[in-house]
Amino acid sequence: MKNHTIALLPGDGVGPEVTNAAREVLESVADTYDHRFTFTTHPVGGAAIDAAGDPLPEATLKACRAADAVLLGAVGGPRWDTAPRRPEAGLLDLRKALGLFANVRPVYVHASLADRTPLKKEIVSGVDLVVFRELLGGSYYGEKKRDGEVASDLCVYTRPEIERITRLAFETARGRRGKVTSVDKANVMETSRLWREVVTRVHRESYPEIELEHQLVDSMAMHLIRHPRSYDVILTENMFGDILSDEASVLAGSLGLSPSASIGDGRPGLFEPVHGSAPDLASKDTANPIGAILSAAMLLRFGLGLEAEADAVENAVAGAIDQGSLTRDLGGDLGCRAMGEVIASGVVAPRGFAAHRLQMQWG
């Protein structure tokens, strides 16, 4: 029996709904494998502004630091657009406080959904890639200024910041198909020139057996849609990674399918679906919980070291999709709650390998 504490941060919009579905799946895992998961729930984002006047209350941060892993729903919404501090500031503060420098976003096109994406089936069939987004540098954390009609956001990167996520990306490529695509804007930006220099050096000195290619971010946005099967591990900086991974998530058929993990040098990690709070869908039971549930699978594997349990969740998701259990964004008729229940009921001790194990590694 394993005992673990998991901090739940439901957040805003559809966040509480998808988080509840993921929690139900985790509870099914605990029952199946005789574990004990202790869940603690805390406000973040807009909900925390309403409750405590701060998007990341000190009590929430303390609970996250004390937990073995953190599962987050989503933050943000137009009702807080004029707040002194926006909900998203709480998420940025949390990543920084926990030292989570790498955001890992896998994109996998399930065979049963290849004809339900916005692109032709022959383009997306077989897509299996993972985006490594540097999470603590760049313009999101740089000095910000506003003087009348002039505004600026400083983009700063250091060699150590670039090197540590670069090594994670190459280590992961070793266990996958052996290719890294580094994305920058080195024809214009000095930070990108440093980025390309560091990536090239790390590759030459430590990972010469891995195929490395460099892509400019604007052309990458096009090639990612035209030739998505060409990519294995995509490595890039904070803002570029935010944009490209959202674009890539649509390859799978819906933004609601995509999970992510934010990791640092130790525990706890932060696990959350890629999608936003979708306030227009809140409380309608129409959100797709699969992104949150697969984030829970990443929590099990990379946050708690529970490989078989993560396999069981991924198998349950694949089984639900194969049997035609789909939410409305994928052409089905299930609500968020019902979809979560179907997946939770499918959690069993796996026989053999998972239907699709997320091939990533770091350490």
CB neighbour class for 228 (10 Å; exposed up to 12, middle 13-18, buried from 19): buried
242 is catalytic: yes
By DSSP bridging, strand 102-108 and strand 259-263 are: antiparallel
Number of H helices, E strands in the chain: 12, 12
How many Å apart are CA 74 and CA 11, to the nearest integer?
5
185 is catalytic: yes
Determine which one of 184, 232, 242, 311 is catalytic: 242
Q: Distance of CA 121 to CAs 109, 111, 125, 320, Å?
A: 10, 10, 6, 21
* 3-state SS assignment for residue 109: coil
Calculate the CA dihedral of residues 146, 142, 69, 283 and round it to 10 degrees: 30
Q: Distance of CA 279 to CAs 91, 241, 247, 288, 337, Å?
A: 17, 24, 20, 13, 17
* 3-state SS assignment for residue 128: strand
218 is catalytic: yes
Contact 9, 46 (CB under 8 A): no
Q: Helix/strand/coil (H, E, C) string of 110-122?
A: CHHHCCCCCCCHH
In the Cβ-directed half-sphere of 96, how many Cα atoms lie within 13 Å? 14
- Residue 180 has phi, psi (to 5 degrees) of -125, 130
Determine which one of 50, 128, 246, 285 is catalytic: 246
Q: Helix/strand/coil (H, E, C) string of 242-254?
A: HHHHHHHHHHHCC
Select from 78, 80, 79, 56 the least CA-distant residue to 7. 56
- Helix crossing, 336-345 with 307-322: angle to 10°? 120
322 is catalytic: no
- Residue 314 has phi, psi (to 5 degrees) of -65, -40
246 is catalytic: yes
Determine which one of 108, 140, 157, 207 is catalytic: 140
Determine which one of 218, 265, 280, 322 is catalytic: 218
Determine which one of 12, 157, 185, 311 is catalytic: 185
> Active-site positions?
140, 185, 218, 242, 246
